Each structure stands twice: as structure tokens, then as C-alpha cells.
């Protein structure tokens, strides 16, 4: 008799667990976007920076560690870093003028990571941890919906369809659109747009805050273009994939600039 209930519970769990898994928030940028940022950054690192990073990361690549920030999210010990993946601002506000999240945000997080990496007294373990987080956060701040509105959680509450399947505006920009393009992260990195020296210089310029403000401007335009219930697909990708690819490329170039400054 008892065995029957255990068996019943077992099958019930089998059905319920994947359902619960599906309602968890989507990962940020999705692994692909983060890996491309890491792979592109590689191409812009000085030799001395590369060597210092290889030592800290035990020869793991930037692309490999780029998803670490999302991997630790489900571990309660790292809960305090949960707000470091995004920043919310009212439409057309700048970061400087915005109400700050008391729990911290992506700007606060990235700047903290930089400060640990520059600290001569920090341990190599700490440096490795915050380096992995920095690589992740610089990716996140280039995903337009990671600098969106607080009211809809950066588009997470805007339910739409992607090629007929239920999703939300945030997830379209994290993963649906880039994964739908069906290129590996290495292919996306090697097919990034060719840039002139002047273009690279202008992308490298500025501060983390400047970059977040630029990302926020893109978010404002994205909000205007989409409403709840829209079925987005090929036409949306045709109009927007270039924005995602360009943001990822900027993320890589700027990550390398920060790392070259630090090491
Ligand atoms: N992910 C979870 N909450 C978020 C928010 N408020 N804005 C952007 N991304 C998020
Ligand atoms: Zn993230
Ligand atoms: Zn996200």
C-alpha cells in the first residue's frame, strides 16, 4: 500500500518538476550572447592582459567563464549579487538622474568588480570571482532590456509570442532572437562587423555609466515598437538582430578595454 503512494508521488514529481523549471526566469543574455562577448573581447586583449587573466582563471577562456554570473544565481550564498545583472531607469532618464536600487545594480556591481581587481591586497580567489562576474555583467549591460523599466522588470512582464511560442520581450532579447539565428558563439564572434580604427576608438571610449545610458536609449526604442500580445518573428529579427549583434560586439570591445586598463 505504502509503495503505491511512493510510486504515485514519484510520477507526480516527474510531471511537476519540468513544469516548475519552465516558469523560472530566463537566463540573462542567454549563454550565446555572453560567450560571444567573451570571444570578441579576446581579440582586443593585450598580451600582458591575456597572461594575467589566464593565470587568474586557470586557463579557462573568457567565453567559458562568461556565464558564471548566471550559474551561481540559484545558489543562496550568492543571492546578494542578483541585482547586479541589470539596471532600471524611467524612460529617457539617465543613470545619473535615476532612482538607485538600494540592493545595487549592474553599474554598482561592475564598478565593485573593477575595484577588487585593482586592489593589491585582494586575494587571487577573490580576483578570479570578481573577474568572472565582471565579464558577465559587461555582457548584461549591453542587452537593451537589462537597462529597461522597473515597472515591467525590463520587459519580463511584457508577454509576447516568438514565432508563435509564448515568451516575453526580455527573453526575446536575452536569447530567442539570437538563438533563432542559429549560429554558434564562435561563428557569431568571427562574423562580427568589420570596424575601422576610429569606430573601435569611439566604442572603447566612455565609462560604464555612459554605456548603460546608451543601452537604455535602445531599450526606450524597443518598448515603443512592441506591445503585449504581439507575435514577433522573422520581420522583428530582420529589423533588430543587427542591434543585438552590434551591442554584443560593443560589449566585447569594452570588456577588453576595461581589462587592459586593469591588468
Ligand atoms: N531581471 C530580473 N529583474 C529585472 C529587471 N527589473 N530589469 C531587468 N532585468 C531583470
Ligand atoms: Zn546576467
Ligand atoms: Zn536577461
pLDDT digits (tens, 9 = 90+) for 186-229: 999 999 999 999 999 999 999 999 999 999 999 999 999 999 99
Considering every ligand atom shown, identify the ligand nearest to the alpha carbon of residue 155 and give its number: 1
Q: How confident is the model at residue 2 (pLDDT cuts 50, 70, 90)?
A: low
Contact residues of ligand 1, CB 6 A cut-off? 86, 88, 146, 148, 150, 153-154, 156
CA 234 to centroid of ligand 2, rounded, Å: 26
Domain boundaries, the chain: 31-262
Residue whose C-alpha is closest to residue 230's, from 151, 145, 159, 148: 159
Q: What is the distance in A from the centroid of ligand 2 to the CA of 70?
A: 5
Q: Whose CA is nearest to atom 5 of ligand 1?
A: 153
Report CA(63)–ligand 2 centroid distance (Å). Answer: 14
pLDDT of 149 above 50: yes
Ligand of minimum distance to the alpha carbon of 86: 1
Residue 92's pLDDT is what? 83
Predicted TM-score (pTM) of this structure: 0.90
Q: Which tens digits make up the pLDDT trace of 20-74?
A: 444 445 455 799 999 999 999 999 999 999 999 999 999 999 999 999 999 999 9
* CATH code for the part of the protein at 31-262: 1.10.575.10
Ligand 1, atom nearest to 82 Cα: 2
Averaged confidence pLDDT in the chain: 92
Pocket test residue of 23, 148, 150 for ligand 1, highest count of atoms within 8 A of CB = 148
Question: What would the 3-class secondary structure string for 107-157 be?
Answer: HHHHHHHHHHHHCCCCCHHHHHHHHHHHHHHHHHCCCHHHHCCCCCCCCCC
Taking CA atoms only, the protein residue closest to ligand 1 atom 3 is 153
Amino acid at each position: 500500500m505504502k509503495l503505491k503512494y511512493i510510486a504515485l508521488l514519484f510520477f507526480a514529481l516527474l510531471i511537476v518538476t519540468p513544469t516548475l523549471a519552465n516558469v523560472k526566469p530566463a537566463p540573462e543574455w542567454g549563454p550565446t550572447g555572453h560567450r560571444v562577448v567573451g570571444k570578441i573581447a579576446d581579440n582586443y586583449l593585450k598580451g600582458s592582459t591575456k597572461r594575467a587573466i589566464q593565470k587568474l582563471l586557470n586557463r579557462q577562456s573568457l567565453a567559458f567563464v562568461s556565464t558564471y554570473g548566471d550559474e551561481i544565481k540559484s545558489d543562496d550564498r550568492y543571492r546578494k549579487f542578483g541585482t547586479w545583472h541589470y539596471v532600471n531607469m524611467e524612460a529617457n532618464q539617465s543613470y545619473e538622474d535615476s532612482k538607485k536600487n538600494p540592493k545595487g545594480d549592474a553599474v554598482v556591481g561592475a564598478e565593485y568588480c573593477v575595484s577588487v581587481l585593482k586592489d593589491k591586497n585582494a586575494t587571487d580567489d577573490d580576483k578570479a570571482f570578481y573577474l568572472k562576474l565582471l565579464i558577465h555583467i559587461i555582457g548584461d549591460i549591453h542587452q537593451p532590456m537589462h537597462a529597461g523599466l522597473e515597472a515591467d522588470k525590463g520587459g519580463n512582464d511584457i508577454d509576447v509570442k516568438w514565432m508563435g511560442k509564448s515568451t516575453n520581450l526580455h527573453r526575446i532579447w536575452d536569447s530567442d532572437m539570437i538563438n533563432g539565428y542559429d549560429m554558434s558563439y564562435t561563428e557569431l564572434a568571427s562574423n562580427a562587423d568589420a570596424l575601422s580604427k576610429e569606430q573601435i576608438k569611439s566604442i572603447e571610449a566612455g565609462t560604464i555609466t555612459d554605456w548603460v545610458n546608451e543601452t537604455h536609449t535602445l531599450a526606450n526604442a524597443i518598448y515603443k515598437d512592441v506591445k503585449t500580445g504581439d507575435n514577433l518573428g522573422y520581420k522583428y529579427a530582420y529589423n533588430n538582430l543587427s542591434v543585438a549583434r552590434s551591442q554584443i560586439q560593443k560589449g566585447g570591445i569594452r570588456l577588453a578595454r576595461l581589462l587592459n586598463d586593469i591588468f
